[in-house]
Amino acid sequence: MIYVTDLHKKLGEQQVLSGISLNITRGQTHVILGRSGCGKSVLLKHLVGLLQPDSGKIVIDGEDIANLRERQLGRIRKRVGILFQSGALFDSMSAAENIAFPLREAGIKDEEVIRQKVAEALEMVDLGGEQEKMPENLSGGMRKRLGLARTIVSRPACILYDEPTTGLDPIATDSINRLIRRLQKRLNATSVVVTHDMKTAFHTADRIAFLHEGRIYFDGTPKELLAAKDPILVDFIEGRSTESEE
Amino acid sequence: MLEFILHSVGSTVLRLLQYVGQLAFLARETAISIRVAPLRWGLLLRQLAEIGFRSQLVVVVTGAFTGAVFSAQTYFQFHRLGMDSAVGAVVAVSLFRELGPVLTALMLSGRVGASIAAEIGTMKVTEQIEALRALGVHPIDYLIVPRILALIISTPLLVAECIGLGIGAGYLVATQVLGVSKAYYLTNMLSFTTGRDIKMALIKGFAFAGLIGFIACEEGLKTSQGAAGVGRAPTQAVVIASLVILISNFFLSFLLNIFFPAGTY
């Protein structure tokens, strides 16, 4: 489904990605783990064309999107949806209007069809009946769910999650983890989850890639990661800092 | 010392050129969008209401009181020379050629420019613009084009409104308060005001609309650094747009005077 080859990206003076190569298989959930600021979100934004690489290839369904212009990316973005870390909801629109937005942009004019699809999307993320609420009146977890409802309403073949559980309490985190898993099964969508939360990673992943110093340091199943003896992987899994206490 | 001065001047000129380049790029993207993307009529109408309709109060008050006070000041000076009857002509020509377009544009840069920069800036720092892109919607089509078109349609009309109210208020002050003859006032005003003055006013209004729109949108789009950045964007938009309006008005006046010379001949 998605093939990333030798991806390089520099932001300002910092080399963020230094030759990322990664294959994401259709229908699977691929988690990208790594420390905060290691470039996970930068990599994710490349997968939907929000950032353009300095070099390298990103092939989605046989099409290299690395050098497509903004207007040419429109058709890719109808197949690949992204849930932003903050939800990125349109704050001047109600929950229903937020979810209806991609439908209206896709040219659907029938208000009854839009109403049904909005209700269905809200049901899928356990926000049934919250159509009229404004984003400012929703909790952090609910905002992420609403963002997810807006992403899935047009049924993308691939869903990208940018830190879906960051800033949530443990109960809300577990609820989002279950939701990601449920949606993956129900929609049979390919999912890419960027996180530094081990619980989210092990709950949702079919495969886990570990990003370190701008490269994919490890790519394997959750079992293979747990069995790894590499000190960098072990420290990360166990949440152990290498700094001394003195 | 000389090196420092040259470096400062050079870097300022470079920054200025870079900014002009950014505005030109935004204008080019907007022109492409108008040509290739379907127009969002709903958004355009909403912006026309916000930019055009809701700006009327500020423009009307500015035009009326400027016309009134300008008429009075002109009368105070001209009365000593026995030229009371020329007040109407001076007020009308000044309002058409300079005061109407410039004051309307300054008011709009404060009211509309600030609002555009703040709204787009907030959307930028809260990832709403990235969300638009991720949903396959080009931000230029959705955010910039409706605002620029609404400004370009509304501003010449608001300029006309400002001038009309200014002339009306000036007429009332001169004839009802200061005792200038109505017949002389109107006759001289009509004989010294030509179609060229009206064209100059509308062309300036059109040009200032573009400047306000592109500067405000550019300041909004390049907003960063969270709340502080959102706070800076409207201030920058208003300051830059106001200065650019005043400076460009000087050059526009000379340029347009070649094509639309002042006076009746």
Domain extents in chain B: 2-259
Contact B131 A77 (CB under 8 A): no
The answer to whether A90 contacts B128, with C-beta atoms less than 8 Å apart, is yes
Confidence (pLDDT) at A244? 63
The pLDDT value recorded for residue B208 is: 97
Q: Which residues of B touch A153 (CB under 8 A)?
A: none
Contact B131 A84 (CB under 8 A): yes
Q: What is the pLDDT of residue A199?
A: 87
Res A182: pLDDT: 86
Report the C-alpha gap between B242 and B120 in whole angstroms.
19
Shortest CA gap B127–chain A (Å): 5
Count of residues making up chain B: 265
Mutate to test the interface with A, among B30, B133, B141, B144 (most CBs of A within 10 A): B133
> Mean pLDDT throughout B160-184?
94
Question: d(Cα A108, Cα A116) in Å, to the nearest integer?
Answer: 12
Mean pLDDT of B73-100: 92
Cβ contact (<8 Å) for B136 and A81? no
Instruction: Give me the phi and psi of B81, to 5 degrees please.
Output: -95, 0
CB contact under 8 A, A77 and B133: yes
Looking at chain B, list the stretches that DSSP marks H as alpha helix, in order from N- to C-terminal side.
2-36, 41-47, 56-80, 87-94, 100-108, 114-125, 128-134, 139, 145-172, 182-192, 195-221, 226-259
Q: Quote the minimal CA–CA distance from A7 to chain B in Å.
A: 20
Nearest CB to B136 within list A74, A84, A91? A74
CB contact under 8 A, B133 and A82: no
- Give residue ranges of A with CB < 8 Å to any B CB: 45, 48-50, 70-71, 73-75, 77-78, 81-82, 84-86, 88-91, 101-102, 105, 150
pLDDT at B120 over 70: yes
Say what the pLDDT of residue B13 is.
93
Mutate to test the interface with A, among B46, B47, B127 (most CBs of A within 10 A): B127
Residue pLDDT tens, chain A, 246 long:
899 999 999 998 899 999 999 999 998 999 999 888 889 999 999 999 999 999 999 999 888 998 888 888 988 888 899 999 888 999 999 999 999 999 999 889 899 999 999 999 998 888 888 888 999 999 888 898 899 999 999 889 999 999 888 878 888 888 888 888 888 888 888 999 999 888 889 989 999 999 998 999 999 999 999 888 888 888 888 877 766 665
pLDDT at residue B264 is higher than 80: no
Complex confidence, ipTM: 0.88
What tokens does B258 get?
A: 């070649």
Of B122, B127, B138, the CB nearest to A84: B127
Q: Residue B265 pLDDT > 60, yes or no?
A: no
Shortest alpha-carbon distance between residue A82 and chain B (Å): 7
What is the distance between the alpha carbons of residues A100 and A77, in angstroms, rounded to a whole number? 16
Which of A49, A71, A101 comes nearest B135 by C-beta? A101
For strand A55-60 and strand A2-11, is the pairing parallel, antiparallel, or unpaired?
A: antiparallel
Say yes or no for a CB contact (<8 Å) between B131 and A78. no
Q: Which pLDDT does position A140 carry in this prediction?
A: 84
Domain A1-67+158-241 indexed as CATH 1.10.3720.10: no
Chain B CB contacts of A107 below 8 Å: none
Contacts (Cβ under 8 Å, ≥6 apart) of B56? B158, B161
Q: What is the mean pLDDT of chain B?
A: 93
Q: Say which residues have a Cβ less than 8 Å from residue A160's Cβ, sequence separation at least 6.
A: A44, A47, A48, A80, A81, A82, A83, A191, A192, A194
* Residue of B126, B133, B135 to mutate for A, most A C-beta atoms under 10 A: B135
**Which pLDDT score is estimated for A126?**
84
CA distance B228 to B220: 13
Domain ranges of chain A: 1-67+158-241, 92-155
User: For the segment B14-61, what is each residue's pLDDT rounded down to a tens digit?
Assistant: 999 999 999 999 999 999 999 999 999 999 999 999 999 999 999 999
Partners of B130 on chain A (C-beta within 8 Å) are 45, 50, 84, 88
Contact B133 A50 (CB under 8 A): yes
